[in-house]
Amino acid sequence: MSRYWSAVTHGLTPYAPGEQPGLDNLIKLNTNENPYGPSPMAIKAICAAAADSLRLYPDPDAKALKAALAARHATSQAHIFVGNGSDEVLAHAFLGLLKHDLPLWMPDITYSFYPVYCGLYGIDFRRIPLADGFALRAEDYLPRDGERAGGIVFPNPNAPTGRLLPRAEVERIAAANPDAVVLIDEAYIDFADDDASAIALIDRHPNLLVVQTFSKSRALAGLRVGFAIGHPELIAGLDRIKNSFNSYPLGRLALVGAIAAVQDEVWFQESRRKIIVTRAMLTARLRELGFIVPPSSANFVFARHPAHDAGEIAAALRQRAIIVRHFKTPGIEQYLRITVGTDEQSATLIAALREILQTARPGTENE
């Protein structure tokens, strides 16, 4: 605490990102990074762009990247906004589109950055409880008894649970709340079914904004590129926020790398397919060890063991140079979020868990 801080700074509870330890020979399964690396085309484009032109500012409108995204998603550049990672895109949307007199609705178990944005921008919000098995239900987000949302936000698939809300149910929510922006955070959508994204609904619902990232399926977490697709009226609002904050959010290297990644469809589909296959294998092996694992449509699984404490399991894995994410949030404190790595990393994880469970003393909520 400092006497020089503003009242806003004093009142914030910052987001805690996943650990990035600098350890050798580590199996890092805690921050949902892609284990296969970026497209070789992206690497080549970045290397080629590391030249004298870096002395010049990048295109503030990112027109070439917007054109590539528009071509891939069969829309126009006027429907696209890009930013420095999806977190920046979300931050602009919270301030520019989701801050209203009525409260913002979000799941009670979800991406923990959402309440942080609300604290930063002074947004009143309401937590909507998930159903059994961490399922998100469309009917919980429909106006009723005179209650309406100032806006609605949730990840799909949800984080940290991995549960997916079918696109038809997303449309129910958007259609029932025509006066509120419905923001769907699709950071992990590329690991779900091909027809899962809500981008296909944009033309029918001008209140719908879909946010995606290059950090997961495109393996460019270190480059920091995110984007939103929505009605031009929403995009114009985001542009007003961006140009009042930072007119140049994406550097030249990020722009060329992202464009090349979008254009390398073969690499994208192969990397995505491998993760989906490994996720199924990992889920099956965890269940064989007695873990409870809800169905996941993301590049991670959410798991708990009814006879062993999650914190103790995470600590024992760390001693074996394997890092997973343990949340201490009430309601999920006995769950581990485990990134889907390579087949070899998953096999090492399962072997370590088998050893831990055989030697550990049982004892969680069943004691």
217 in the same domain as 328: no
Q: Provide the sign of the torsion angle of the four alpha carbons 220, 221, 225, 226, taken in this order.
A: positive
234 exposure class (CB count in 10 Å sphere: 0-12, 13-18, 19+): buried
Higher pLDDT, 11 or 95: 95
Listed residues 216, 248, 264: the one ending a domain = 264
Among the ranges given (117-126, 265-274, 319-328, 352-361), the one the predictor scored with the smallest mean pLDDT: 352-361
Per residue in 122-147, pLDDT (tens digit) is: 999 999 999 999 999 999 999 988 89
In the predicted structure, residue 11 carries a pLDDT above the cut 90: no
Query: Would you say residue 240 lies in a domain?
Result: yes
CA angle 62/66/69 to nearest 5° reads 145
Per residue in 17-33, pLDDT (tens digit) is: 777 776 678 999 999 99
291 in the same domain as 203: no
pLDDT for res 250: 97
Listed residues 264, 282, 310: the one ending a domain = 264
Average pLDDT over residues 246-273: 97
Query: Would you say residue 364 lies in a domain?
Result: no
Listed residues 229, 264, 299: the one ending a domain = 264
* SS3 category, 123: coil
pLDDT for res 361: 66
CATH assignment at residue 280: 3.90.1150.10
The 10 Å Cβ neighbour count of residue 190 is: 23
31 in the same domain as 174: no
188 in the same domain as 219: yes
Closest CA to 350 of 262, 271, 263, 289: 289
Query: Would you say residue 2 lies in a domain?
Result: no
Query: Would you say residue 50 lies in a domain?
Result: yes
CATH assignment at residue 67: 3.40.640.10
In the predicted structure, residue 358 carries a pLDDT above the cut 80: yes
Cβ atoms of residues 286 and 326 within 8 Å = no
Domain count, the chain: 2
pTM for this entry: 0.93
Per residue in 288-315, pLDDT (tens digit) is: 999 999 999 999 999 999 999 999 999 9
- CA-CA distance, 232 to 76, in Å (whole number)? 9
In the predicted structure, residue 367 carries a pLDDT above the cut 60: no
pLDDT for res 8: 86
330 in the same domain as 200: no
Q: What percent of the chain has pLDDT over 70?
A: 97
286 in the same domain as 233: no
Tokens of 102: 């009525």
52 in the same domain as 27: no
In the predicted structure, residue 364 carries a pLDDT above the cut 60: no
333 in the same domain as 321: yes
In the predicted structure, residue 362 carries a pLDDT above the cut 90: no
Phi/psi region, residue 210 (left: phi>0; alpha: psi -120 to 50; beta: rest), is beta
331 in the same domain as 316: yes
321 in the same domain as 234: no
Residue 332's domain comprises 7-36+266-359
271 in the same domain as 260: no
β 125-128/104-107 pair status:
parallel
255 in the same domain as 195: yes
pLDDT band at 181 (very low <50, low <70, confident <90, very high): very high
Per residue in 104-119, pLDDT (tens digit) is: 999 999 999 999 999 9
Query: Would you say residue 366 lies in a domain?
Result: no
